[in-house]
Structure 1
Amino acid sequence: MTTNEDDLPVLGLEPYIELIQTTSSGNSDQEDAKLGLMLLWLSDYVLDVMDIELAPFGITESKLDLLILLTLHGERRATPSAIAERLGITRASATSMIDWLEKRNLVVRNHSKEDRRKIYVSLTDEGRTFVAEVLPTYWSSCASNMMDLEPDERKVFEKLVNKLLKSIQRRLEVER
């Protein structure tokens, strides 16, 4: 791999471990900090892979996540603030994504008949068709993340991921 003189060199994990050792507080377990950092890197890479897989459809994982949320809630009305809360993003981020999806006729905003100040977001027919077209690639990409794990490793990994998910959901007081 060639590098440009302006590129940052690959550091690997060791300099981060040294930084953890010199900057973590006394009540932080350094080995746990290293594992947590590796988990953050893994989540970044998983999202990067997903965005690459979704690029031919012209959408990112975060925008598709919003469409999937609306798909799963069917005819139930969803406000931008409820969407933001469920996705764990700011209201401004949700509004920006809704604007982007609305410009592409994948979602529509409707005012409440009972309270005109309240806005609901729903999928358009085109949005439902789009989600149906993208989901096979999405699921394939999700599955590809597990391809290097042996069956027994997958079982252990699933148990660990479930445990971490529950713990983090409790901390954030949010669930999917």
Structure 2
Amino acid sequence: MSKVERDPINEDSLPKLGLEPYAELIKRSARADTPIDDAKRGLMLLWLSDYFLDAIDVELAPFGITESKLDLLILLTLHGDKRATPSAIAKRLGITRASATSLIDWLEKRRLVIRNHSAQDRRKVFVSITEEGRTFVDKALPTYWSFCASILTDLEPEERQVFEKIVNKLNHSLQQKLGVER
């Protein structure tokens, strides 16, 4: 008998836990002033955002790109001919400078962005989208927007309005806390 037959649980995956063990952990480990039910709701929102990112990455797979890389290209597209530094990109996307550099490296290897050194200060680097990058974005955006719209298909029209109000409120609150806006 092989190990797989004796041990039906794949050792490369973990069993599903559901929300309840997390709720119990919240009760045991949260600060006394933390509303337990709100912590659980917040955790559910974090999970939801992870699921959304995983799902959009699946949708974008035929283009050979992830949401985070496309997000950077969209940012550069929306800023037109304005040059952006890696630091400014990192701040706007809410990621570290090292993560931004990694994204830029990946996109540059595929000729979707280009780095240029400042004529006044060669230490300063600017990133801009290439024509090839603009063409790529034009091809990927219909799939991206279609996915964004599909997220809400299970909600009734009234629920969508309430959802938009709640998301706007949460978004504004987080932007204030972080001092960053999209």
Q: TM-score range by the shorter chain?
A: over 0.9
Q: Note if 1:162 corresponds to 2:168.
A: yes
Which of the numbers 60, 67, 90 marks the counterpart of 2:96?
90
Q: Give unpaired runs (5+ residues) of structure 2.
A: 1-7
Which of the numbers 94, 104, 119 marks the counterpart of 1:113?
119
d(CA) in 2 for partners of 1:95, 1:12: 36
d(CA) in 2 for partners of 1:79, 1:8: 41
After TM superposition, which residue ranges in structure 1, 4 or more long, deviate above 4 angstroms? none
Q: Note if 1:33 corresponds to 2:39.
A: yes
Could you say what secondary structure the match of 1:117 adopts? coil
1:4 Cα deviation after fit: 2.6
Partner of residue 141, structure 1: 147
Which of the numbers 51, 65, 69 marks the counterpart of 2:71?
65
Do the aligned partners of residues 6 and 88 (structure 1) sit closer, same or farther apart at CA in structure 2, a change above 3 Å counting?
closer
CA deviation string 1:22-73 (max 9, x = no partner): 1111011001100000000000000000000000000000000000000000
Q: How much is the aligned-residue C-alpha RMSD, in angstroms?
A: 1.1
Q: Note if 1:19 corresponds to 2:28.
A: no
Partner of residue 133, structure 2: 127
Partner of residue 4, structure 1: 10
d(CA) in 1 for partners of 2:52, 2:134: 25
CA deviation string 1:56-96 (max 9, x = no partner): 00000000000000000000010111000100111111011
Could you say what secondary structure the match of 1:147 adopts? coil
| TM-score (ref. length: structure 1) | 0.97
Which of the numbers 59, 70, 76 marks the counterpart of 1:53?
59
1:5 Cα deviation after fit: 5.0
| TM-score (ref. length: structure 2) | 0.94
Count of residue correspondences: 175
d(CA) in 2 for partners of 1:127, 1:70: 10
Q: Give unpaired runs (5+ residues) of structure 1.
A: none
Do the aligned partners of residues 65 and 6 (structure 1) sit closer, same or farther apart at CA in structure 2, a change above 3 Å counting?
closer
Indicate the percent of aligned positions where both proteins have the same amino acid: 72
Q: Which has the larger radius of gyration?
A: 2
Could you say what secondary structure the match of 2:146 adopts? helix
d(CA) in 2 for partners of 1:68, 1:7: 35
d(CA) in 2 for partners of 1:5, 1:51: 25
